[in-house]
Structure 1
């Protein structure tokens, strides 16, 4: 009987720690950073290219514009992610854009919300890309789980940015073609 009391006491202690963590840490903040050997202009173009998103965002499937103008402040899109065979959706709202410098978004999901910023700064032909994320669980249970997920969320962002670095540095798409040189000879005349 004494062992049952100890076991119950231990279980209650774990529950208190779990929910206490959600109360004491209602949001989780983390940053990631990479440096790419390309200009901010090209880095921005590659990062913004929807066809390249599956190459650097783990599990990315597709995006659907819900309202607003694509890639502009106020645009709302539905994002589809494959999370280990389960389809997950989230709503993305663009909060701020400064081309070649800043993209700020809010992601809303049933379980949690995330404020996400991606900053780009060029120096001597190289671009530092820094992401900042603040995640908040929706409800005490979700806040408690999110408080324990900081490490895995940061690891996923580090992995995504390393993939983005590779996609940018291996990019062969010319996003800045001179319109007068694009097309066939007949179209130019």
Structure 2
């Protein structure tokens, strides 16, 4: 399953990217975000691995591996969870000096377990909905934040 989500942010590209990649801001736009811990490598460098924890109704632990990080052009990361594996490519493009397009391409490459496979088959739009929700929340946070 593969999809792309986009949103326009009313900020210059440098401010948008700075807010997006600052881990202290994740809690502001990613529901349930608790922590990110660098396990190996250099943060945001090829091969770096981090453990990301979300806690809402249940605890979710992801392993992030950076494939490439050349922001604002793109950041490609592999996310592994016991129920699924996906790659996310994030890009930022200048629309004008005060407006940036935020693009997220997500490709799920593996689903483990009958329930998650069924969800992906019957409700693929739910995955894109979640990505778009976080992008909308990022836009709202970013446009209200002055750095």
> 1:1-189 alignment to 2 at 5 Å?
28-83=1-56, 85-125=57-97, 126-139=99-112, 141=114, 142-173=116-147
The alpha-carbon deviation at position 113 of structure 1 amounts to 0.1
Contact 2:50–2:65, Cα closer than 8 Å, also in 1: yes
The verdict on how the C-alpha distance between 1:139 and 1:65 changes in structure 2, with shifts beyond 3 A counting, is same
Computed over aligned residues only, the root mean square deviation of the Cα atoms, in angstroms, reads: 1.5
The alpha-carbon deviation at position 107 of structure 1 amounts to 0.2
- Listed one character per residue, the Cα deviations across residues 58-102 of structure 1 (whole Å, up to 9, x for unaligned) are 21110011100112121100000113x211101001111112221
Aligned counterparts of 1:81 and 1:51: Cα–Cα separation in 2: 14
Higher Cα radius of gyration: 1
- Listed one character per residue, the Cα deviations across residues 113-143 of structure 1 (whole Å, up to 9, x for unaligned) are 0110111000212111110111133446243
Contact 1:137–1:144, Cα closer than 8 Å, also in 2: no
The alpha-carbon deviation at position 108 of structure 1 amounts to 0.4
The alpha-carbon deviation at position 146 of structure 1 amounts to 2.4
Question: TM-score, normalized by length of structure 2?
Answer: 0.91
Contact 2:33–2:53, Cα closer than 8 Å, also in 1: yes
Runs of 5+ unmatched residues, structure 1:
1-27, 174-189
Please state whether the residue corresponding to 1:168 is helix, strand or coil: helix
Question: TM-score, normalized by length of structure 1?
Answer: 0.72
Runs of 5+ unmatched residues, structure 2:
none
Aligned counterparts of 1:139 and 1:100: Cα–Cα separation in 2: 33
Please state whether the residue corresponding to 1:44 is helix, strand or coil: helix
Which deviates further from its counterpart, 153-162 or 132-141? 132-141
More strand by share: 2
The alpha-carbon deviation at position 56 of structure 1 amounts to 1.0
